[in-house]
A and B are shown apart, each in its own frame.
Chain A
Amino acid sequence: MNTINNANEVLVDCQNVWKIFGARAPTAIRAVEERGLSKKQILEEFDCVVGVANANLQVRRGEIFCIMGLSGSGKSTLVRLLNRLIEPSLGQITIKGKDIAKLNAAELRDMRARNIGMVFQSVALLPGRTVLENAAFGLEVRGVPRDERYKIARAALEKVGLADWMARYPSELSGGMQQRVGLARALAADPEIILMDEPFSALDPLIRRQLQDEFRQLTKSLGKSSVFITHDLEEAIRIGDRIAIMKDGVIVQVGTAEEIVTQPADDYVSEFVAGISRIHLVKAHSVMLPVAEFQTLQPHCDVEALLKTSPEADIGELIDLTMRSNRDAVAVVENGAMVGIVTTRGLLCGVAGTPARELVAA
């Protein structure tokens, strides 16, 4: 099996996608194409709301892609564009290489049923059906025979820890349990991509953390890809492999949690990341000094005698190592070669959020 290729396969690809709401949306779109107006200009000139503006994103196989933004930033609109619950005003969206705008009604249904599941913020369980019947809903509308769909739904409910609740009705379950039924329903349909629109927003912090961890672990163990919407950066960091930050319909930055926290693209993003704990985010490679530079600063130190770690070690681990060693520096080793040194000063800068480069000058 060609795992390298597989892992990099792009499942969802958005190219210059716009969504403009309002009676005069077509005229506004033409103006955007010709004159490149901004969101504010469009609102003033055409009285149209820009839901999503010029969004580009790629979701790869096996990846959890978080979209983070404040209320009204267009997250729900963007995620609904991905399974064509909303038609884009402009741009192209491909799922597994197929342009979804070109699918006819039957093909679109088939794609939604097989390739791309969705979990809703409002859970959207059918009140008159038991938990088991709800979990089997996707299979039912696909015409899977009763016994088989119940078997699959039972397995999915077991995965989310609801094995004892199958005969209950949704109204008998707590919010967190209902959300798990929603997840089980999506899992039972066995899609490659799961869209999650703020699924855990309405839950209390403890249950939420638990579900976040369960979700990440489940998605990874089943090899699914996911687009996960949230308005909470900490949630995005906990769950996401990569994070896109949205503001007023525009994707302002895409990157790993570490990239976003250590190199925010603009003031808006830096304001967001200001309160985030860096201990488990910032890795050795972004706080280390080149070996030569360290040696000019501390010529008497024998770098070979330092404790060694990998470039992926986070600040927490580095602090642990430094405490155990009798020196105040740790060597970073990659493929047998020493690539840098992390000093206590570097560690403190990492925690405080000052880039490592600046400490040389200091």
Chain B
Amino acid sequence: MNADLIRFSPGVYLAPAVDWLNANFHPFFDAVTKLIEAVLGGIEAVLLYPSPYVVILVAVLLAAFLINFRVAVITAVSLAFCLLAGLWTASMQTFALVTVAVFISVSIAFPLGILASRYKSLEAGLRPVLDIMQTVPPWVYLIPAVMIFSLGRVPAIIATIVYGIPPMLRLTTLAFNQVPKDLLELGQATGAPPRAILLKIEIPSATPTLLVGLNQCILLSLAMVVLAGLVGAGGLGAEVTRGLTRMEMGLGLRAGLAIVAIAILLDRLSKGALQGRGRGPTRATH
């Protein structure tokens, strides 16, 4: 028997599907591209128009007032590193890219994750899809993304979103499954409407696990950013790619460390912003 006959090649079916999408939904994809470009451009403009010193100062002050002193120090150190490494522009581009990607990933994964914890059949249906999304090497996403959105920041951001959804979704489902049953019973027994149960009982007690999910989402999105450099998304990924292609150890290392700095910054900022000023039993118990 000829092995070629039974060889399974999903690409044969996928490629025409992508072509068909391209041909028939071009205006839609065009609009998506424009929207994402506009949002990204806006954030970048805000970050890059003023002098870096002003941006750092404002960021540190905001962190100090809205979160706490520690986060303010971390903000100062990580942003100062990006500036001193000579990668300020690239860092801000990456910051904007990841922020938008994570924001969209979370907006998709969070509600889906809640639904999956409510409806076990949805969870069962989503599980293999998530497995595939996580095990397929990430640059494979880039191919259809580039086919549809062509080179640039938009395919990069789409691939990043796809990569960021699974951890957030899984951990959201886990977080909501772990909400203590007696607290849910309390909500029902006091006659709380479903919205109040969600906002006042489920989300507060799911928060620690949700923050882990957010952290994973941010880190994986940043890992994806390096790959995004391959498709011309600019930012630190492009610097890493340049360091690699030119065998410039110094540049690659600086860009890599800047990515770490951005990762730490994003993680602490998001955690701090969501938890507020250290309220609750974490502060009360010692």
Q: B192 contacts which chain A residues (CB < 8 A)?
A: 109, 141
Q: A126-B183, A126-B204 are in contact. Are A169 and B284 (CB under 8 A)?
A: yes
- Prevailing SS type, chain B contact patch: helix
Q: A124-B183, A127-B205 are in contact. Are A85 and B284 (CB under 8 A)?
A: no
The 8 Å CB contact of A142, one of B182, B191, B201, is B191
Give B162-207 interface residues, CB cut-off 8 Å to A: 180, 182-183, 185-193, 196, 200-201, 204-205
Q: B284 contacts which chain A residues (CB < 8 A)?
A: 168-169, 171-172
Q: Mark A137-160, 1 if CB is under 8 A from B, else 0.
A: 110111000000000000000000
| Closest B residue to A123 using CB positions | B182
Contact B191 A113, beta carbon cutoff 8 Å: yes
Q: Does B24 sit at the interface, judged by CB under 8 A? A: no
Contact B191 A112, beta carbon cutoff 8 Å: yes
| Closest A residue to B285 using CB positions | A171
- Taken together as a complex, chains A and B put the C-alpha atoms of A108 and B185 apart, in Å, by 14
Q: Does A111 sit at the interface, judged by CB under 8 A? A: yes
Give A121-138 interface residues, CB cut-off 8 Å to B: 122, 124, 126-129, 137-138
Q: B281 contacts which chain A residues (CB < 8 A)?
A: 127-128, 169-171
Q: B196 contacts which chain A residues (CB < 8 A)?
A: 140-141
Contact B193 A109, beta carbon cutoff 8 Å: yes
- Taken together as a complex, chains A and B put the C-alpha atoms of A42 and B205 apart, in Å, by 39
Q: B201 contacts which chain A residues (CB < 8 A)?
A: 126
| Closest B residue to A110 using CB positions | B191
Contact B185 A141, beta carbon cutoff 8 Å: no
Contact A112 B204, beta carbon cutoff 8 Å: no
Contact B190 A138, beta carbon cutoff 8 Å: yes
Q: B188 contacts which chain A residues (CB < 8 A)?
A: 85, 112
Q: Mark A167-206, 1 if CB is under 8 A from B, else 0.
A: 0111110000000000001000100000100000000000
Contact B189 A118, beta carbon cutoff 8 Å: yes
Q: Does A286 sit at the interface, judged by CB under 8 A? A: no
Q: Does A226 sit at the interface, judged by CB under 8 A? A: no
Q: A128 contacts which chain B residues (CB < 8 A)?
A: 204-205, 279-281
Q: Does A264 sit at the interface, judged by CB under 8 A? A: no
| Closest B residue to A185 using CB positions | B190
Give B248-286 interface residues, CB cut-off 8 Å to A: 279-281, 284-285
| Closest B residue to A133 using CB positions | B200
Contact-residue size bin, chain B (C-beta under 8 Å from the other chain): 20 to 34
Contact A112 B189, beta carbon cutoff 8 Å: yes
- Taken together as a complex, chains A and B put the C-alpha atoms of A171 and B281 apart, in Å, by 7
| Closest A residue to B282 using CB positions | A128
- Taken together as a complex, chains A and B put the C-alpha atoms of A117 and B191 apart, in Å, by 9
Q: A142 contacts which chain B residues (CB < 8 A)?
A: 191
Q: Which has the most chain A C-beta neighbours within 10 Å: B191, B193, B204, B284?
A: B191
| Closest B residue to A134 using CB positions | B186
Contact B182 A117, beta carbon cutoff 8 Å: no
The 8 Å CB contact of A124, one of B186, B204, B285, is B186
Q: A140-B200, A170-B281 are in contact. Are A83 and B189 (CB under 8 A)?
A: yes
Contact A112 B285, beta carbon cutoff 8 Å: no
- Taken together as a complex, chains A and B put the C-alpha atoms of A108 and B279 apart, in Å, by 34
Contact B186 A113, beta carbon cutoff 8 Å: no
Q: Mark B201-231, 1 if CB is under 8 A from A, else 0.
A: 1001100000000000000000000000000
The 8 Å CB contact of A137, one of B190, B279, B285, is B190
| Closest B residue to A170 using CB positions | B281
- Taken together as a complex, chains A and B put the C-alpha atoms of A129 and B205 apart, in Å, by 11
Q: A110 contacts which chain B residues (CB < 8 A)?
A: 191
Q: Does A165 sit at the interface, judged by CB under 8 A? A: no
- Taken together as a complex, chains A and B put the C-alpha atoms of A348 and B211 apart, in Å, by 68
Q: A141-B200, A169-B284, A172-B284 are in contact. Are A124 and B182 (CB under 8 A)?
A: yes
Q: A122-B182, A126-B201 are in contact. Are A172 and B191 (CB under 8 A)?
A: no
Q: Does A120 sit at the interface, judged by CB under 8 A? A: yes
- Taken together as a complex, chains A and B put the C-alpha atoms of A114 and B205 apart, in Å, by 26
Q: B189 contacts which chain A residues (CB < 8 A)?
A: 83, 85, 112, 117-118, 195
Q: A141 contacts which chain B residues (CB < 8 A)?
A: 187, 190-193, 196, 200
- Taken together as a complex, chains A and B put the C-alpha atoms of A118 and B280 apart, in Å, by 25
- Taken together as a complex, chains A and B put the C-alpha atoms of A108 and B196 apart, in Å, by 15
Q: A129 contacts which chain B residues (CB < 8 A)?
A: 280
| Closest B residue to A83 using CB positions | B189
**Shortest Cβ distance from residue A96 to the other chain B in the assembled complex, whole angstroms:** 15
- Taken together as a complex, chains A and B put the C-alpha atoms of A133 and B212 apart, in Å, by 27
Listed from nearest, the 4 A-B pairs whose CB atoms lie closest are A113-B191, A112-B191, A141-B192, A128-B280
Residues of B within 8 A of A (CB): 180, 182-183, 185-193, 196, 200-201, 204-205, 279-281, 284-285
**A/B interface sample: 18 pairs, CB < 8 A:** A83-B189, A110-B191, A112-B190, A113-B191, A118-B185, A120-B185, A122-B182, A124-B182, A127-B281, A137-B186, A140-B196, A141-B200, A168-B284, A169-B284, A171-B281, A172-B285, A185-B190, A189-B190
Q: A138-B191, A169-B280 provided; 5 other pairs, C-beta below 8 A?
A: A120-B182, A124-B183, A127-B205, A141-B196, A142-B191
